[in-house]
Amino acid sequence: MKKWIQKILKTDVTVTHSDYQKENFSASLIDYTRRNPTTLSEFRDVGKRNDQKNFYEEVKKIEDGYNLLYKDLSIYDDNGVPKIDEYSSIRNGNPLRKKPFPLCKEYMMRSLFSRHLYIYPPSIIGETDYRAHVVDYLEKEGFKRNQKDGLGVENIAFAYSTMHAYTLVLNTIARPEDVILMTGPNYGIFAVSTEVFNARVEIINLREEDDWYINPEQLSKRIDEINQKLKKEFENKLDYIPKVVAFLNINPHNPTGKVLNNKTKDILLKMGDVCLEKGVFVIDDMVYRDLTFDQNDLALPLATIPKYFNNTITIIGLSKSYSLASLRAGAIIAPIPIIRGIENQIASSLDCISMLQSAALAGAFNGTKRRYKLAHKYFKKSIKEYKYRLDLLEALITGVDENQKKIMKDIKQYTKDPKKLEILKEGIPKTKIKITPESGFFAMIDFTELKGLTDGDITIENDADFVTYLYKKTKINCLMGLNMSWPTDEIVARCNFAIEKQDLIHNMFLINQAVRDLK
């Protein structure tokens, strides 16, 4: 069967690249490109607000950061330093290379061999039986099943990724100029997409003294401050006063890797109380949940507590934990009025969600004993490897102990050169891991001690200086604090330690060399 499937999927195709000649543009195309000049650029663009206004301050900083990575650094592309493939770079967002969760593949295969593929899916937001599987799973995870005011299939909508899910939620709950409150640091792409769709981003800074968890008292004050500012700014200008409509709670957090679970439940409950009292939804983004290192105490969904169910919108997905990033599939769990708003959007833009995505989601999120047996084995192995990759990263930064035999073995597979080995064993000067993650595969690396050091025409004073220097020397252009609303002037970079071990060692060796050249 496997060989037969591989055979029918194999295709021979010639890839033809194309270009354009501006002198051949039609009048309508000339008009379009005049109004949208960035579409003529070869460089990636983060987009712009649909209302044509400028991004607000916080998102403008993120936009500048991405423009630096995607466009400005290109002046060094041909300086003779070999490029690093995106998939081999610490910058990328891909999870560990491993086989997808087996039940996802199994459910998808069932769907593909169905006799009814000629029929449009009967439900706009995902096939009902598949959503019923998700309900079973959520009940196992602590959600309360209740036909009158709780969990049922009407509370589930499928989407084409957690990014798509977030956009659907955003366009359902937020009017123009309404605020989505996010932490600093955050997932910068969510921040940008919020303002592309005419809403607004405000930041509440996470603090080291709070161990990088949200501070509920500070959250309460920040919501009040923003609402007062909005009232002053928009009173008598719109037919409504914009407000903070939601707080984005990424749990486990991206990029810090911190987890709100039973150990930190008190923080989660206080946060939930603040949002309930202030009339602010909680968007509970849980895409990294199954990668919580303590598999006996996963990130706790706020909506499992009945008090918060009708004030919480939960997002789950397959990309990070289930090794299905290329499939693009996510799900939304929310009160029925929110789901109906999402359904209207899907109906008007997509018609309905594909049966294949629905099947994959049901394969990952179902309440069967088989699913839990397979998941235990699958995630136990994944977490073990993620923890090792984190140990490897830490050793490459702080220095390798000779007793770390497995790490030494991997380093010696990378190089036998005595000089390179010595550099790798010594670690990277003036560098440390800023926050020890409790989940996922990102670590924040702190380069702040490099401030004031110089190599050639570049002096390191901030994030932009450092990533410019790093790209010029190594072609590594990792995400920096400026891409994620980092709350201080520290120089920090997000590192993906899930890339192949030899790639991770190579990235860190290049950074090590670059740092040593600074004087």
In whole angstroms, give the CA distance from residue 463 to residue 483.
9
In whole angstroms, give the CA distance from residue 38 to residue 354.
32
Q: Is the separation of the CB atoms in 315 and 287 below 8 Å?
A: yes
pLDDT for res 490: 97
Q: Is the separation of the CB atoms in 431 and 449 below 8 Å?
A: yes
117 three-state secondary structure: coil
Q: Is the separation of the CB atoms in 228 and 79 below 8 Å?
A: no
pLDDT for res 38: 84
Where would I find the H helices in 310-417? 336-349, 355-364, 369-398, 405-414
Burial 107-129 (b: 16+ CB within 10 A, else e): bbeebeeeeeeeeebebbbbbee
Which of 76, 159, 97 shows the shortest CA–CA distance to 338? 159
pLDDT for res 47: 80
Residue with tokens 């995630």: 379
Q: What is the mean pLDDT of each run of 10 residues along the chain (519 residues)?
A: 59 83 95 90 83 92 92 92 91 94 95 87 93 97 84 95 96 97 96 95 98 98 98 94 98 97 98 98 97 97 96 96 93 97 94 93 97 97 97 97 92 96 96 97 98 95 97 95 96 97 97 97
Q: Which domains does the chain have, with CATH numbers?
A: 81-97+380-516 (3.90.1150.10), 102-374 (3.40.640.10)
In whole angstroms, give the CA distance from residue 81 to residue 473.
7
Burial 162-182 (b: 16+ CB within 10 A, else e): bbbbbbbbbbbbbeebbbbbb
327-337 pLDDT per residue, tens: 999 999 999 99
Tokens representing 246? Answer: 């939601």
Q: Is the separation of the CB atoms in 518 and 453 below 8 Å?
A: yes
Q: How remote is the C-alpha of 139 from its chain's centroid?
A: 26
Beta bridge partners of 203: 182
- Nearest-10 crossing angle of helices 405-414, 369-398: 70
Q: Is the separation of the CB atoms in 428 and 515 below 8 Å?
A: yes
Beta pairing class for 492-496 and 442-446:
antiparallel
pLDDT for res 11: 67
For the entire predicted model, the pTM comes to 0.93
22 three-state secondary structure: helix
Phi-psi region of 417 (alpha: psi -120 to 50; beta: other; left: phi over 0): beta
